[in-house]
Structure 1
Amino acid sequence: MGRRYWNINLEDMMEAGVHFGHGTKKWNPRMAPYISAKRKGIHITNLTITACFLSEACDLVFDAASRGKTFLIVGTKNKAANLVASAAIRARCHYVNKKWLGGMLTNWSTTEKRLQKFRDLRAEQKMGKFNRLSKGDAAMLKRKLSIFQKYLGGIKYMTELPDIVILVDQQEEYMVLRECVILGIPTICFIDTNCDPDIADISIPANDDAIVSIQFIFTKLVSAICEGRSSYIAI
């Protein structure tokens, strides 16, 4: 399952701007092996290396999906939020795209209680129980429900810790990465030139600020997960 299989093309990556890093002043020296040049004060990522890591990540998620494993995708910054939701929905993964509530994974029992409360409220609303309440009480529960929906909507069907976590932007999602490391959950992380490539299990050096770049990486990962899932069902 080499690069050809996942159709990871260097020209397509350049078109998507995957190679643009941060300004040279905002870099992490540990990223040196993944940087091929400096251009107009910006570091340029070596796309051949990116292609290798992306291919490896696709192999990993394909294999995991073909064994029925579960995924959580996390990306809470504005530019990534919609892409995270649509990628997760396409690949039938759990996701968090608004705000990471500290301890979501490390304090799983609390998260489970919140999810149960969320499910109960949704059921009550569906059964029309809110209509029997006073206007004030109904409004309060609806507010509660919309807060749950905002922060937990993407994980409402998650019944246990995920097998693999995919993160957009290491800096932004550092708390999540730490929780995964503590719990020993394998991680795939999009990393820009200001990140530490050694924390995640697979770090994909890429522009994590441009929508087109994030979308390019997601397209590959999602198709690998979907292919893996279809072979799992076939068995």
Structure 2
Amino acid sequence: MYLGVLKKFENQMSMEEENQNNFKENILMVTMKDLLECGVHFGHQTRRWNPKTKKFIFGVRKNIHIIDLQKTLRYFRYTYNIVRDASAQGKSIMFVGTKKQANETLKEFAESIQVPYVNYRWLGGMLTNFSTIRKSVRKLEIIEEMENSGQIDLLTKKEKLMILRKKEKLDKYLGGVRHMKKIPDMIFVIDVAKEKIAVAEARKLHIPIVAPLDTNCDPDLVDYPIPGNDDAIRSIRLFCKEMSEAILEGRELMQEEIVHADENSEEIEYVSNEEKEEMLAEIQKEITQGAE
């Protein structure tokens, strides 16, 4: 099953690569030098590998699997365009990464492009029971409204302290998804082995998953994998940066389409008004002639 899925994915990549105009300009695209400098090629110890990642492994050095960066580069470019095109279609993309090496970097990039994110802890049902999550977000908003209106100052010290602690906890868990009105159309995950619950929920709801694929991960769980180190801070930063840029580029393309559509609609509207004026003039002429 895995080989069939992977073969299909690679065929899609080959078709995509036939049209080089769909890629970012080479000067802006991630390079082999970037991958090497960020340590993307370092996998896990050989004893911790997932045999399904064999296809992406170049070799072994000091009991560490070395990832084939030629394949990483190829998958990176293809996946970049998948994310870009999803963004251009107005699809929402969520960032997920809760481990220590990833949480601050992931939050930084997610907030910079204003996408929902989870960087502290994934709450069960974040996707599959989204209505309950929205209720919890509403509680956070109500507490903030109480603060802003001064209503919270009418409570006893103990009550106020309890509510503020509740607010702090809700913000820590849900701050990154408070503006998310519906489940995302795609999720970008750092470390699918760690974020098992998030991955399981996304797969249950058929939400595509984009993720770095380290040598201890299961490729079957990822729709759009990028073979690479998902533990090193610099590597994580590179993945977050590229996915953020893909989303931004997609938004620019969508905006261009909107402007183009508006220009066309304005032109059609102008012609339509002109026709209406001509028809109105003809009607007035007919009325005048009839009166004579």
Normalised to the residue count of structure 1, the TM-score between the two structures is 0.96
2:222 maps to which of 186, 200, 211: 200
**Are 2:177 and 1:160 equivalent residues in the alignment?**
no
> Higher helix proportion, which one?
2
2:199 corresponds to: 177
Please report how far the alpha carbon of residue 161 of structure 1 lies from its aligned counterpart in structure 2 after TM superposition: 0.4
2:76 maps to which of 51, 54, 71: 54
1:113 corresponds to: 135
Please report how far the alpha carbon of residue 3 of structure 1 lies from its aligned counterpart in structure 2 after TM superposition: 6.5
Choose 1 or 2 for highest CA Rg.
Answer: 2
Equivalent runs, 1:12-31 vs 2, <5 Å: 12-31=34-53
CA–CA distance in structure 2, aligned partners of residues 27 and 228 of structure 1: 35
2:58 maps to which of 36, 50, 56: 36
2:274 corresponds to: none
1:45 maps to which of 63, 67, 83: 67
Does the CA contact (< 8 Å) of 1:3 and 1:51 recur in 2? no
CA–CA distance in structure 2, aligned partners of residues 75 and 61 of structure 1: 17
Please report how far the alpha carbon of residue 187 of structure 1 lies from its aligned counterpart in structure 2 after TM superposition: 0.8
CA–CA distance in structure 1, aligned partners of residues 228 and 148 of structure 2: 43
Structure 1, unaligned runs of 5 or more:
none
Runs of 4+ in 1 over 3 A off after TM superposition: 2-6
CA–CA distance in structure 1, aligned partners of residues 108 and 168 of structure 2: 19
**Are 2:2 and 1:2 equivalent residues in the alignment?**
no
SS in 1 for 2:231: coil
Which region of structure 1 is more displaced relative to structure 2, 158-167 or 51-60?
51-60
Which region of structure 1 is more displaced relative to structure 2, 123-132 or 88-97?
123-132
How many pairs align? 235
RCO comparison, higher one (Cα < 8 Å, 6+): 1
Does the CA contact (< 8 Å) of 1:3 and 1:52 recur in 2? no
Does the CA contact (< 8 Å) of 1:80 and 1:211 recur in 2? yes
Please report how far the alpha carbon of residue 230 of structure 1 lies from its aligned counterpart in structure 2 after TM superposition: 2.2
Question: C-alpha root-mean-square deviation of aligned residues, in Å?
Answer: 1.3
**Are 2:99 and 1:77 equivalent residues in the alignment?**
yes
Residue 238 of structure 2 aligns with an amino acid whose one-letter code is F
2:275 corresponds to: none
Residue 121 of structure 1 aligns with an amino acid whose one-letter code is I
CA–CA distance in structure 2, aligned partners of residues 55 and 128 of structure 1: 52
2:117 corresponds to: 95
**Are 2:249 and 1:227 equivalent residues in the alignment?**
yes
CA–CA distance in structure 1, aligned partners of residues 76 and 148 of structure 2: 42
Residues 103-130 of structure 1: CA deviation (Å, up to 9, x unaligned): 1111112112111112222222222221
CA–CA distance in structure 2, aligned partners of residues 96 and 118 of structure 1: 16
Residues 129-182 of structure 1: CA deviation (Å, up to 9, x unaligned): 211211111111100000001000000101100011110001110111010000
SS in 2 for 1:204: strand
Normalised to the residue count of structure 2, the TM-score between the two structures is 0.78
Residues 72-117 of structure 1: CA deviation (Å, up to 9, x unaligned): 1000001100011011012211000000111111111211211111
Residue 100 of structure 1 aligns with an amino acid whose one-letter code is W
Residue 168 of structure 1 aligns with an amino acid whose one-letter code is I
Structure 2, unaligned runs of 5 or more:
1-21, 259-292
